[in-house]
């Protein structure tokens, strides 16, 4: 039984294909459309479906839309429709902003937003781009359409792929239909049956996620997009605005809270203009926000642990991408084990909705559950496909005999290497399939990488370390394969890896083992043999404002237009130092 998951309501549109409990493919639309985050999260764009990502998922399984049994869309518009109206009509003035908002709606534009989503099934049939007709246009579809509540989709994405048989599940994002934070208890029983019970929720307009977005905008970054920059900025500040944030975030016990935003400029002074210099108060606002959120999240998680009695926590929702917050919950919270969905943003709801509907429609029967040990769920390209492209493009390249060893030698020489291998990652992290790799041994490497990517200087670069060696270099006692936690660099090792450490002494590490990605593991292993340091710098293979590369053309274009020294793509090397031998010939 095939189930297609779709996320499209707000941002990070994505698709995921599940077959009898197993995830076959998952990808974000941005990787195909080249529009970062896919689209803007505004009512006017709510109709846009991730057609390219859907097409990819069907292609991976070698099926067409006719073969689908279910489509699961990760937003339920009925929750926003007027209660008990008995009508299938919503009224939308031609010029909503010139009319008073109907008291039922949160916003002037909600009727437009909801009507687009209600009509998503018709969009899927009637708006297929011409070039995707082969797989997406069919006269005889048989699938059943399901609208899945947004936070249920987040919760399913957090629990079903987790290693736990029971767990507390916390979802926090900007907003779903009305919920912004949810508390759940999930269990997996005999034959894999999953139950997710909602224990409580916080609703609009009270949202820790929206507060984070508001401060992101205040600090001159793009909200809905640059929240991770605020997280990095916080390390440079002092939390001298805690009293203000105590007034803004009102914790009310039992997981409930209120947000009294008010006017941030009245509290903290004029907002920073995008691109303007940072003042100390900007760092201090970021620091105060981060600590206020840590405090709030700890209180919430203690309550959730008592309420569920579980020692396991699963998390999803955009806030779960904040690795500093996650680490605080890990270090000072009440749970023994934490698993976070690596695609914790809205893209992951495509996966959660698909897994949930697939399981519910099968009554979770007779197929083994799917555990998410890695995130390599996107498009991959064979050596044949890659070489055909290189020949066509007439670029010089040569085939490597020993990919890990030869790549490790380049890295040990201080080269910046584009690394394009296997299936693309699902989610925002680059985990060794679409990465830029570099040596951690020189402090200047962080600046070189930030320069290459046209990123702000304050941004740290994350390391990848062999799983078995992680504890020798970082305060790390458990694998961390998805870069969702920070770990302190051991003081006695810090001088050996100066490019790794953030200003606060921490690093957002990725641990790697051979089962997750053999070739990537072997490069780090060989680099360790050459230098004595089994660690590399790993940053996403993209440049500022662009999504991570998806296909060989993207990788080669990025290689040719940045100061990358080399590109290792499949079994082939492209180099700017004249070492590549062949010119468009096999």
Distance in angstroms (rounded) separating the CA atoms of residues 337 and 312: 5
Q: Which residue is nearest to Fe ion (CB)?
A: 173
Residue 186 CB partners (closer than 8 Å, separation 6+): 155, 159, 166, 167, 168, 169, 194, 195, 196, 197, 314
For residues 316 and 390, which CB has a smaller minimum distance to Fe ion in the complex? 316
**Taking contact as CB under 5 A, which single stretch among the options 177-185, 346-354, 390-398, 430-438 is the one that binds Fe ion?**
346-354
For residues 26 and 390, which CB has a smaller minimum distance to Fe ion in the complex? 26
**Taking contact as CB under 5 A, which single stretch among the options 53-61, 166-174, 438-446, 467-475 is the one that binds Fe ion?**
166-174
For residues 323 and 411, which CB has a smaller minimum distance to Fe ion in the complex? 323
Q: Is 346 in the site for Fe ion (CB under 5 A)?
A: yes
* Nearest distance from C-beta of residue 36 to Fe ion, angstroms: 17
For residues 173 and 284, which CB has a smaller minimum distance to Fe ion in the complex? 173
* Nearest distance from C-beta of residue 10 to Fe ion, angstroms: 7
For residues 173 and 425, which CB has a smaller minimum distance to Fe ion in the complex? 173
* Nearest distance from C-beta of residue 348 to Fe ion, angstroms: 8
For residues 173 and 358, which CB has a smaller minimum distance to Fe ion in the complex? 173
Q: At what angle do helices 280-308 and 208-218 cross, to 10 degrees?
A: 170
For residues 9 and 390, which CB has a smaller minimum distance to Fe ion in the complex? 9
* Nearest distance from C-beta of residue 173 to Fe ion, angstroms: 3
Of the candidates 121, 160, 537, which has an alpha carbon nearest to the alpha carbon of residue 343? 160
- Say whether 322 sits in a helix, a strand or coil: coil
Instruction: Say if residues 512 and 422 touch (Cβ distance below 8 Å).
Output: no
Q: Is 28 in the site for Fe ion (CB under 5 A)?
A: no
Question: According to CB under 5 A, which residues from 539 to 578 bind Fe ion?
Answer: none
What x-and-dash track marks residues 370-389 binding Fe ion by CB under 5 A? --------------------
* Nearest distance from C-beta of residue 418 to Fe ion, angstroms: 31
Q: Is 149 in the site for Fe ion (CB under 5 A)?
A: no
Instruction: Say if residues 94 and 163 touch (Cβ distance below 8 Å).
Output: no
Provide the strand spans (E) within 189-336.
Answer: 194-203, 249-251, 257-259, 312-316
Q: Within 13 Å, how many C-alpha atoms sit on residue 419's CB side?
A: 31
* Nearest distance from C-beta of residue 208 to Fe ion, angstroms: 12
* Nearest distance from C-beta of residue 333 to Fe ion, angstroms: 22
**Taking contact as CB under 5 A, which single stretch among the options 169-177, 191-199, 360-368, 458-466 is the one that binds Fe ion?**
169-177
**Taking contact as CB under 5 A, which single stretch among the options 48-56, 160-168, 342-350, 511-519 is the one that binds Fe ion?**
342-350
For residues 294 and 346, which CB has a smaller minimum distance to Fe ion in the complex? 346
CA 487 vs CA 84, 478, 502: distances in Å: 51, 11, 10
For residues 347 and 387, which CB has a smaller minimum distance to Fe ion in the complex? 347
**Which residues does residue 4 pair with via DSSP β-bridges, in sequence order?**
17, 71
**Taking contact as CB under 5 A, which single stretch among the options 111-119, 172-180, 191-199, 389-397 is the one that binds Fe ion?**
172-180
**Taking contact as CB under 5 A, which single stretch among the options 26-34, 343-351, 374-382, 511-519 is the one that binds Fe ion?**
343-351
What x-and-dash track marks residues 302-341 binding Fe ion by CB under 5 A? ----------------------------------------
Residue 411 CB partners (closer than 8 Å, separation 6+): 417, 437, 438, 439, 523, 527, 536
For residues 76 and 346, which CB has a smaller minimum distance to Fe ion in the complex? 346
| Helices marked H in 78-207 | 110-118, 120-126, 133-136, 150-159
* Nearest distance from C-beta of residue 454 to Fe ion, angstroms: 28
For residues 45 and 531, which CB has a smaller minimum distance to Fe ion in the complex? 45
* Nearest distance from C-beta of residue 344 to Fe ion, angstroms: 9
Of the candidates 224, 275, 267, which has an alpha carbon nearest to the alpha carbon of residue 248? 267
* Nearest distance from C-beta of residue 68 to Fe ion, angstroms: 24
Q: Is 173 in the site for Fe ion (CB under 5 A)?
A: yes
Query: How many chain residues interact with Fe ion (CB under 5 A)?
Result: 2
For residues 173 and 387, which CB has a smaller minimum distance to Fe ion in the complex? 173
* Nearest distance from C-beta of residue 178 to Fe ion, angstroms: 12
Distance in angstroms (rounded) separating the CA atoms of residues 272 and 264: 11
Distance in angstroms (rounded) separating the CA atoms of residues 399 and 583: 12
Residue 484 CB partners (closer than 8 Å, separation 6+): 320, 321, 323, 326, 340, 342, 344, 429
**Which residues does residue 145 pair with via DSSP β-bridges, in sequence order?**
71
* Nearest distance from C-beta of residue 113 to Fe ion, angstroms: 15
Distance in angstroms (rounded) separating the CA atoms of residues 520 and 465: 11
For residues 11 and 453, which CB has a smaller minimum distance to Fe ion in the complex? 11
Q: Residue with structure tokens 């690093």? A: 507
Instruction: Say if residues 430 and 483 touch (Cβ distance below 8 Å).
Output: no
Q: Is 177 in the site for Fe ion (CB under 5 A)?
A: no
| Helices marked H in 478-575 | 518-531, 552-560
Counted residue by residue, the chain has a size of 586
Distance in angstroms (rounded) separating the CA atoms of residues 308 and 410: 51
CA dihedral of residues 181, 200, 151, 143 (deg, nearest 10): -170
Q: Is 522 in the site for Fe ion (CB under 5 A)?
A: no
| Helices marked H in 185-279 | 208-218, 227-233, 242-248, 264-268
How remote is the C-alpha of 582 from its chain's centroid? 38
Residue 330 sits at φ, ψ, to 5 deg, of -60, -45
* Nearest distance from C-beta of residue 182 to Fe ion, angstroms: 10
* Nearest distance from C-beta of residue 176 to Fe ion, angstroms: 6
For residues 297 and 390, which CB has a smaller minimum distance to Fe ion in the complex? 297
* Nearest distance from C-beta of residue 393 to Fe ion, angstroms: 39
For residues 226 and 346, which CB has a smaller minimum distance to Fe ion in the complex? 346
For 382, other C-beta atoms within 10 Å of its C-beta total 10
Contact positions vs Fe ion (CB under 5 A):
173, 346
């Amino acid at each position: 039984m095939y189930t297609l998951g779709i996320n499209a309501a707000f941002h990070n549109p994505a698709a995921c294909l599940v077959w009898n409990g197993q995830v076959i493919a998952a990808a974000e639309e941005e990787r195909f459309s080249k529009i970062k985050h896919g689209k803007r999260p505004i009512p006017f764009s709510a109709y846009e479906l991730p057609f390219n990502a859907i097409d990819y998922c069907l292609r991976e399984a070698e099926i067409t839309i006719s073969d689908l049994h279910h489509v699961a869309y990760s937003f339920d518009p009925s929750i926003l429709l007027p209660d008990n109206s008995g009508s299938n009509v919503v009224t939308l003035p031609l010029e909503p902003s010139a009319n008073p908002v109907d008291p039922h709606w949160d916003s002037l534009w909600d009727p437009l937003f909801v009507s687009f989503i209600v009509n998503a099934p018709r969009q899927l049939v009637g708006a297929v781009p011409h070039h995707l007709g082969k797989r997406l246009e069919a006269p005889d579809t048989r699938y059943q359409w399901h609208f899945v509540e947004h936070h249920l989709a987040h919760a399913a994405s957090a629990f079903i792929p987790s290693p736990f048989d029971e767990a507390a599940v916390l979802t926090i994002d900007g907003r779903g239909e009305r919920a912004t934070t949810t508390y759940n208890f999930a269990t997996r029983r005999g034959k894999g049956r999953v139950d997710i019970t909602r224990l409580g929720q916080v609703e609009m307009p009270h949202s820790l996620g929206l507060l984070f977005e508001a401060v992101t905008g205040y600090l001159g970054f793009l909200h809905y997009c640059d929240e991770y920059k605020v997280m990095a900025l916080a390390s440079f500040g002092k939390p001298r605005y805690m009293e203000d944030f105590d007034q803004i975030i009102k914790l009310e016990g039992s997981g409930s809270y209120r947000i009294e935003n008010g006017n941030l400029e009245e509290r903290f002074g004029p907002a920073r203009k995008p691109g303007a210099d940072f003042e100390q108060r900007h760092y201090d606002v970021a620091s105060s926000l981060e600590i206020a959120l840590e405090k709030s999240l700890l209180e919430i998680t203690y309550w959730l642990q008592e309420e569920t009695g579980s020692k396991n926590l699963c998390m999803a929702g955009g806030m779960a991408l904040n690795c500093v917050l996650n680490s605080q919950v890990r270090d000072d919270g009440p749970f023994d084990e934490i698993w976070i969905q690596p695609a914790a943003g809205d893209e992951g709801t495509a996966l959660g909705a698909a897994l949930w509907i697939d399981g519910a429609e099968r009554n979770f029967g007779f197929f083994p559950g799917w555990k998410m040990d890695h995130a390599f769920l996107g498009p991959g390209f064979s050596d044949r496909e890659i070489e055909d492209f290189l020949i066509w493009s007439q670029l010089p390249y040569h085939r490597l005999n020993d990919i890990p060893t030869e790549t490790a030698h380049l890295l040990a020489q201080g080269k910046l290497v584009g690394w394009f291998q296997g299936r693309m990652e699902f989610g925002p992290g680059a985990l060794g399939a679409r990465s830029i790799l570099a040596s951690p041994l020189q402090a200047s490497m962080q600046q070189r990488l930030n320069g290459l990517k046209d990123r702000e200087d304050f941004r740290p670069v994350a390391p990848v370390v062999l799983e078995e060696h992680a504890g020798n270099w970082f305060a790390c006692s458990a694998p961390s394969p998805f870069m969702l936690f920070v770990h302190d660099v051991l003081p006695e090792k810090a001088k050996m890896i100066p490019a790794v450490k953030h200003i606060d002494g921490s690093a957002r590490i990725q641990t790697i083992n051979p089962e997750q990605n053999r070739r990537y593991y072997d490069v780090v292993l060989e680099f360790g043999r050459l230098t004595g340091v089994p660690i590399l710098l790993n940053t996403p293979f993209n440049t500022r404002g662009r999504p991570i590369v998806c296909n060989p053309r993207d990788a080669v274009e990025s290689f040719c237009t940045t100061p990358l020294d080399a590109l290792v793509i499949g079994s082939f090397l492209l180099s700017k130092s004249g070492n590549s031998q062949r010119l468009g010939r096999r």
